[in-house]
Amino acid sequence: MSNKLVPTALAAAFLLTACAGGEEPKTPPIAINEDPYPSTYVRYPGVPTVIRHATVFDGEGRQINDGTVVIADGVVKAVGGPELPTPAGAQEINGAGKWVTPGIIDVHSHLGDYPSPGVSSLSDGNEATSPVRPEVWAEHSVWPQDPGFSRALVNGGVTTMQILPGSANLFGGRSVVLKNVPARTTQGMKFPGAPYGLKMACGENPKRVYGSKGNMPQTRMGNIALTRQTWIKAQAYKRDWDKYEKEGGKMPDRDLAMDTLKGVLDGKILVQNHCYRADEMAIMMDMAKEFGYRVTAFHHAVEAYKIADLLRENDVCAVMWADWYGFKMESYDAIKENIPFVHNAGACAIVHSDDPNYIQRLNQEAAKALADGVRAGIPNLSEGVAWEWLSRNPAKALGILEKTGTLTPGKMADVVMWNGDPFSDYSRPERVWIDGALMYDANDPKRRPVSDFELGQPGQGDTK
Amino acid sequence: MIRRLTAALLLGVAAPLAAQTFVITGATVALGDGSAPIPNGQVVIRDGRVVAAGDIRMKLPADTQVIDATGKWVTPGIVAGFSRLGLAEVDLTASEEGGGGKSDTSGAADDSTSSGPFNAAIDVVPAINPLDTTIAVNRADGVTRALVAPNAGKNIFAGQGAVIDTGADMEPITAARKFQFVELGETGAGNAGGSRASAHIMFRNALREAAELRRYAPGIAASSGRTPDERERPVVQNPNESRVYSADARRSQDVLLTRFDAAALVPVLQGRQYLFVHVERASDIVQVLGLKRDFPALKIVLVGASEGWMVADRIAKAGIPVIASAVNDLPASFEQIAATQSNVGRMKNAGVHVSIGMIDDNDTRNLFMERQYAGNLVGLQKIPGATGVSWGEALAMITSRPAEAIGMGGEIGSLAAGRRADLVIWSGDPLEGTSGAEQVYIDGVRQPLDDHQTRLRDRYRYLERRDLPEAYRH
């Protein structure tokens, strides 16, 4: 516990204790280090670059034909038409026939905690030993050598991912947001400044995992009761700590699980709630009101279309597949228009993968959803608008929209140049920049990550 | 063939076009045989069969119905090369996702037999439910036929697979007991007690028992004379239905298989039934090719073959077709370390007969993904260092190639004259996921395209509160 204390706080505490006077003074509060495993990510060097004559989706809904994108110093410098000047010393890329977009952000991935190869030795996504495990952190499971990261980059154009714990538990633990830049450590991939998420789960999984062991929860009402009971504990914990942080005195016992839940109640940790059914999402939104927190996003949200208006009113994102259906009872009512219907209701729609294969084709998943929406008569849909489902809205759901997710000057230069319209099954990333550094170039076999696991194996460095 | 819609399905559905002569005009026509699409082509259908298709202009009877498909595309219906379609309404168990236990929705899932006494004798036919929502959903996306395999339960042999259609009627079976499915890779090793060596010796022993049964039971080899208790005997409709033959055949003491399981392998041994072998690893593929030397009559089809590109020349030389996963590129297991999306293209270029299947990839329900995967293989042609396939070949891999792999290329999978009239009118290029199936025909009969999903879509298109609850919108 003490190794979580900030050294300066320790020193201050010592000084104040030493000069205590006559009246029994309250020990001033000691600040807890909320970031003991900080990001050590440092962007790689890039070359000032101007892409010209490309079709640009800026992620804010706009499509620019014959567009120009300027990146330098790790950030987007300018986005516009052919009139934009080329800064001195910048390299020019002819983007004619290419598309340029913000990098795709997958808010629901298990790369690293359910990596390839899918052997149990490496499967570290579910701490299925208790339905309440907010104390576990996904970053302590993530194996940065998962070869899946490279596939998501080169085939999927994915530049940022949220890695989540699994859904066996009502409280599955903290998520971690990663830049898709290989590193020796997971901390080396951590997105600087991204808030933590808390994985919660409704529905079939928690009740079945524990019900089958004869433990609570065995039912959906058991799910809700245990979740509420846990929030009650968290509120009490928060009260004790708020008082301590204000008044000092005896430090309350620390509890890692409650630390995470307190972070949610403090608004510092975003709730990422696995929830399929409309009725359960409605309950979870009311639960958030009952205990004073927000649900940031419902993940899988197969029935989001049934309550798209409620999602809009509560400002909760729905994280969805284009057409997965029926693989379990709570996905039985999936429809192919879920994403466009949620979008059309004015709510925040997001395309996600939850899968190491689908993460390589999120653009195609969005394309199908867009086409299904158009066929269903949803107005004002376009490819430019649909790109919001792939980068802007995901960035919003991860609390990093100020930093990435759109091609807005000043934001991180997380950029993909596609070899054709990314809403086509025939198109692939040609180049991918992350923080302005070229991390993938289809024309340069050396600009392609190969994980330690794949070195010296058959097919090493192959186009995958 | 005239198809009958069930009464339930007829309700609220436009009456199907009766099988008759009709012509589709103005569309871009792709034949499914590997050739490039033909602009402004025609397809002529009579009595449920293709008369002619492509760049043709035929004199047609005056009462021929004309379907103007200008601006659309027409292809053969998609043939899912490897699937478990129709075997499960709801499959994945919640606990599989979360870790542990078995599902209680298994009553609606018949794709796997985890604790029954039989293996090779299992036949998917009685388990196929043509009214599964999965069939309707895939029909609505242009999948008209599927090769349906059982899952291996606790033996290397999974049982016998069938070819089905996705028509809205109660006769789903196109060809029963078309192939036996066996696992000889990681799954096979596990089911054989823990090693590939055990899986191979189990396989050889099973064929030995089949051979022995055949020797002692002439009824299996060829149906023979009557016996006094003839009326008690089942009637043999199909020579591959070995389970109904001579129950009194003698067997040696040294047997592991039940009589039914051994009998089911007789047609495999004789080459009357295809043998689908699921392996992924290059060395496993080489071992399977070796089986063909020892048992020359086997009609092997490789399933999976993620590392096939490494031994593609050997597969080609053996003349063994492959039904592959299209876009597997992860070392998802140690038998797929060299997986790459170029696998299909490289095997094809080496001369292997390749088609696409959904091997353990949402195989009970997402068969509609095959055309997206096929499009991805076309896209690979633009990637330096990758090997893709041409558009025509990519379409063939999800239509005629899987049919050819089981000797049914003359019946389904293309728009060549005489084929069953399974065809789809698409809103655009069918290898783009953005294109939708607008009309689907099976055996020349127009199919309904609405399903559970489209009804939900229509119910919840507008959320404003009305005079009655949503449940009254139907």
Q: Which tens digit of pLDDT belongs to each residue from A7-50? A: 444 444 444 444 444 566 788 999 999 999 999 999 999 999 99
Which domain, by its residues, includes A132? 103-397
Q: Report yes or no on A431 lying in a domain.
A: no
> Is residue A278 domain-shared with residue A175, that is, in the same domain?
yes
ipTM over 0.90: yes
Whether B230 has a pLDDT exceeding 80, the answer reads: no
**Residue A62: which pLDDT band, with cuts at 50, 70 and 90?**
very high
Higher pLDDT, B203 or A26: B203
Kindly state the tokens that stand for A393.
């809205």
| pLDDT tens track for A112-136 | 999 999 999 999 999 999 999 999 9
Q: How far is the C-alpha of B26 from the C-alpha of B74, rounded, in Å?
A: 10
Predicted pLDDT of residue B12: 40
Burial class (CB in 10 A: 0-12, 13-18, 19+), A12: middle
Query: What was the pLDDT predicted at B293?
Result: 87
Per-residue model confidence (pLDDT) at position B327: 97
Among A368, A397, A426, which residue terminates a domain?
A397
Asked if the structure places residue A198 within a domain, the reply is yes
Q: Do A226 and A76 contact (CB within 8 A), yes or no?
A: no
Residues A254, A343 within the same domain: yes
User: What phi, psi does A239 have (nearest 5°)?
Assistant: -60, -45
Set of chain B residues whose Cβ sits within 8 Å of the Cβ of A327: 90-92, 362, 364-365
Among A353, A375, A397, identify where a domain stops. A397
A236 and A379 inside one domain: yes
Average pLDDT value for residue range B83-112: 67
Picking from B307, B329, B455 by the largest number of A CB atoms within 10 A of its own CB, the best residue to mutate is B329
Per-residue pLDDT of A266-307, as tens digits, reads 999 999 999 999 999 999 999 999 999 999 999 999 999 999
- Band (pLDDT 50/70/90 cuts) for residue A5 is very low
Mean pLDDT of chain B: 90
Backbone dihedral angles phi then psi of residue B99, each to the nearest 5 degrees? 105, 95
Residue A280 belongs to a domain: yes
- pLDDT at B4 exceeding the cut of 70: no
User: B244: pLDDT confidence band, cut at 50, 70 and 90?
Assistant: low
List of domains in chain B: 7-77+419-457 (2.30.40.10), 78-405 (3.20.20.140)
Domain identity same for A28 and A107 = no
**How many other C-beta atoms lie within 10 A of the C-beta of residue A309?**
15
Does residue A343 lie in a domain region?
yes
The pLDDT-based confidence of A162 (bands split at 50, 70, 90) is: very high
Indicate whether A356 and A210 sit together in one domain.
Answer: yes
Q: Which range (A350-359, A452-461, B235-244) has the least confidence?
A: B235-244
Helix axes A220-247, A204-211, angle to 10 degrees: 100
DSSP structure string for A200-223: EE-SHHHHHHHHTTT-S-SSHHHH
Q: What does the pLDDT average to over A439-451?
A: 97
Q: Torsions phi, psi of A351, nearest 5?
A: -95, 130
Q: What is the pTM of this model?
A: 0.93
Average pLDDT, chain A: 94
* pLDDT tens-digit map of B180-190: 999 999 999 99
Whether residue A448 is contained in a domain is answered as no
When pLDDT is cut at 50, 70 and 90, the band that residue B254 belongs to is confident
Closest CA to A252 of A238, A241, A263, A260: A241
Band (pLDDT 50/70/90 cuts) for residue B101 is very low
CA nearest to B114, candidates B102, B104, B105 = B102
Q: How confident is the model at residue B453 (pLDDT cuts 50, 70, 90)?
A: very high
Min Cα separation B472/chain A (Å): 15
pLDDT of residue B218: 54
Asked if B460 lies within 8 A of A305 by C-beta distance, the reply is yes
pLDDT at position B234: 62
Question: What tokens does B305 get?
Answer: 């073959």
| Cβ contacts of B342 on chain A, cutoff 8 Å | 462-463
Under an 8 A CB cutoff, do B453 and A336 touch? yes
List of residues 6+ apart from A201 with CB closer than 8 A: A167, A168, A169, A170, A172, A273, A274, A275
- A195-254 residues touching B, CB cutoff 8 A: 203-206, 208-209, 212-213
A364 in any annotated domain: yes
Domain count along chain A? 2
Q: Round to whole Å and give the CA distance between A297 and A393.
A: 10
Longest dimension (CA), chain B: 75
pLDDT at B226: 53
Selected for mutation to probe chain B from A280, A305, A351, A464 (highest B CB count within 10 Å) is A464
**Is there a single domain that holds both residue A12 and residue A111?**
no
Q: Are residues A19 and A119 in the same domain?
A: no
The reply to whether A441 falls in a domain is no
Q: Are residues A259 and A387 in the same domain?
A: yes
Residue B238 has pLDDT above 80, yes or no: no
Inter-chain touch A356–B330, beta carbons under 8 Å: yes
Q: What is the pLDDT of residues A422-433, one digit of tens each?
A: 999 999 999 999
Place of tokens 């049964």: B213
pLDDT in tens, B277-324: 999 999 999 999 999 889 999 999 999 999 999 999 999 999 999 999
pLDDT band at B16 (very low <50, low <70, confident <90, very high): very low
* A12 shares its domain with A112: no
C-alpha radius of gyration, chain A, whole number: 23
End-to-end CA distance of chain A: 45
Residues A238 and A336 in one domain: yes
Is B6's pLDDT higher than 50? Answer: no
For chain A, percent of residues with pLDDT exceeding 70: 95
Section A450-455 average pLDDT:
97
Residue A360 falls inside a structural domain: yes
Say which CATH number the domain at A342 has.
Answer: 3.20.20.140
Give the pLDDT confidence score for residue A51 in this predicted structure: 98
Are A16 and A114 in a shared domain?
Answer: no
Q: Does A337 touch chain B (CB under 8 A)?
A: yes
> From B465, which residue of chain A is nearest by alpha-carbon distance?
A309
CA atoms of A404 and A105, how far apart (whole Å): 9
The chain B residue lying nearest A131, using CA atoms, is B98
Whether residues A29 and A112 share a domain: the answer is no
